[in-house]
Amino acid sequence: MKRTRSLTAITAIICCIAVLAGQQVHAGSIIGWGSNANGLRDNIPAEDDFTAVAAGNAHSLALTADGTIVAWGADTYNQVSDTPAPNGFKAIAAGYEFSIALAADGSIVTWGRDNFSQVTDAPEGADFVAIAAGGEHGLALREDGSVVHWGRNDDGSPAPQGNNFFAIACGGAHRLAIAGEENTGAVDSWGNVYWGLIPVPSDTDFVTVDAGRAHSIALKSDGTLVAWGAVGSSSISKGQVANTPDDAGYIAIAAGYYFNIALKDDGSLVAWGQGTSDQTNVPEGNDFVAIAAGKEHAMAISEPGSLTLTSPNGAEVFKTGTIQTITWETDGNVADVRIEYSTDDGAAWIPVAPANQGNTGSYDWLAPIANSEECLVRVKASASLTGADQSDATLAIYTCALAGDVTGDCAVNIADLAVIAAEWMQCEYPFVKEPLFKGDINFDDSVDAKDLMIMSSYWLDATCDACNWCGGADINKSGSVDIHDLAELAGTWLLKAEL
């Protein structure tokens, strides 16, 4: 089932992009790629309740669903060790060697390197709704739609005036904001004007924006991308502008130092620009909900959809070698479903063979060799346990050597005969019988499958009497249709007799 994402539900949380409060509605696990310097990949926390990620020069931040901030990577200026204690934070941003967080009460908290007062000059107040961190400067958006910046400002350019801004971003030494109505508008840029950062595109239908060291990127309301800057020097032009995709369907963006990442509406990732540390080799999959880009590393939050196992759900009895259909329902975006079974009440799990392909909602399973009443079946999204579901109770799988055990209950009885009789006429019957008397229940001068079917229909009837003569199935006239009549029928099946 495809899950369509919207910009109001997903915000790209990166080193330089604004994070609007109230938009972090997804939670999942973090996947990282690119540079592993300072343990940027190795030290990614393993929890699966993260709602936002942010990537700086050589450190990373993540925000959990309960508002706790986790930091890892380089700690030269305490940008990791001084991370504030849990306090209900709702947004994060990572700059070059410092960080910013937006508290639940709308106030701003900063820590890390302070060489341009990017920490100590953070604005006061509790009316902020978004934050952004750049090279050595910060930017924040107030509830009234106005913006304020602090930290390094080499050219002394002031923040733009007005109170209709709704998105902000910081680059290496430049800042961006979008002003307009109903969350679409035009881009304003100030600060560094080199490398083609000025002028900005004249379109008025942008919905979000981000900035790298020497380039900017914006997302339009129709899902297309626009990038500019990074001109005039081969040392800064790494394809982060020239190689921008020209298709549509994008819902979030993240700009790194010299590369970009974009999230598509099907949950997949696209990257372009400098790839010296494999930062443009994005992970496969379509369950991503948020992205972040740093200097040469990147992260995404993976939130697989959930699965509900509908069959088998417990108490079933399967015979080894029979085909049993496993079915499930999907909520959200799950591209591939992995199916496993256990014969020891979940202590160990074994993948079904052959492996399930894709997500069709059903799988025909060849019941394995087992003799256990503690079997379970489990479905999950690929190799992740997030959103997995298993049988509500244990089921049984038996291996039986009885060839006539059609029903798989390790016994040959009337239930097996009923199955055989019901399916008998579905196959071509190749024999032509000579007219026989004994066992010819339907009086067609032959003893064949039709007679067996009639006998089966009366097998469990009440005792035969004058009013209920069992249709002639009471061959030996004992007053009941039982195994003795079957013996009589079988005894005449392949024999010729005179009428």
Q: What is 344-400 written as a DSSP string?
A: STTSS-EE-SSPP-S--SEEEEEPPS--EEEEEEEEEETT--TT-EE-SS-EEEE--
Percentage of the chain with pLDDT > 90? 63
Which residue reads 């380039």 in tokens?
215
With 0.85 as the threshold, say if the pTM is over it: no
> Which DSSP symbol is given to 28?
B
At 461 the pLDDT is 58
Phi, psi of 469 (to 5 degrees): -90, 5
Q: How many residues does the chain have?
A: 499
Query: Quick check: 426 pLDDT over 50?
Result: no
Round to whole Å and give the CA distance between 257 and 276.
12
Number of DSSP helices (H) and strands (E) in the chain, helices first: 3, 30
Task: Yes or no: say if 109 and 101 are a contact pair by the CB < 8 Å rule.
Answer: yes
The CATH number that domain 29-302 falls under is 2.130.10.30
Instruction: Convert the pLDDT of each residue in 222-270 to its tens digit.
Output: 999 999 999 988 899 999 999 999 999 999 999 999 999 999 998 999 9
Question: CA dihedral in degrees (302, 295, 110, 289; nearest 10)?
Answer: -20
Ordered by start, the domain boundaries in the chain are 29-302, 306-398, 414-493
Query: Quick check: 441 pLDDT over 80?
Result: no
Instruction: Convert the pLDDT of each residue in 276-289 to its tens digit.
Output: 999 999 998 888 99
Same fold, 29-302 and 306-398: no
Task: Yes or no: say if 110 and 78 are a contact pair by the CB < 8 Å rule.
Answer: no
**Residue 195, Cβ neighbours under 10 Å: how many?**
21
Round to whole Å and give the CA distance between 403 and 380.
35
Give all strands (DSSP E) within 382-449, no chain letters.
389-390, 395-398
The CATH number that domain 306-398 falls under is 2.60.40.10
- Triad 413, 416, 422: Cα angle to 5°: 140
Q: Tell how strand 269-273 and strand 259-264 pair up.
A: antiparallel
Go through 159-184 and write b for each residue having 16 or more CB atoms within 10 A of its CB, e for each that does not: beeeeebbbbbbbbbbbbbbbbeeeb
Instruction: Convert the pLDDT of each residue in 445-487 to its tens digit.
Output: 666 777 777 777 766 555 665 555 566 677 777 777 777 777 7
Round to whole Å and give the CA distance between 262 and 11.
11
Which residue reads 């990577």 in tokens?
73
Give the type of residue at 286.
N
Instruction: Convert the pLDDT of each residue in 91-127 to its tens digit.
Output: 999 999 999 999 999 999 999 999 999 999 999 999 9
Task: Yes or no: say if 172 and 135 are a contact pair by the CB < 8 Å rule.
Answer: yes
List, in order, residues 6 or more apart from 67 with CB less than 8 Å away. Answer: 86, 87, 88, 89, 90, 104
Q: What sign for the dihedral angle of Cα 144, 145, 146, 152?
A: positive
Round to whole Å and give the CA distance between 356 and 179.
49
Go through 357-379 and write b for each residue having 16 or more CB atoms within 10 A of its CB, e for each that does not: eebeeebebebbebeeeebbbbb
Round to whole Å and give the CA distance between 430 and 438.
21
Identify the three-state secondary structure at position 484.
Answer: helix
Identify the three-state secondary structure at position 177.
Answer: strand
Instruction: Convert the pLDDT of each residue in 346-388 to its tens digit.
Output: 999 999 989 999 899 999 999 998 989 999 999 998 756 667 8
Give the type of residue at 73.
G
Instruction: State the pLDDT confidence band at 432, using cuts at 50, 70 and 90.
Output: very low
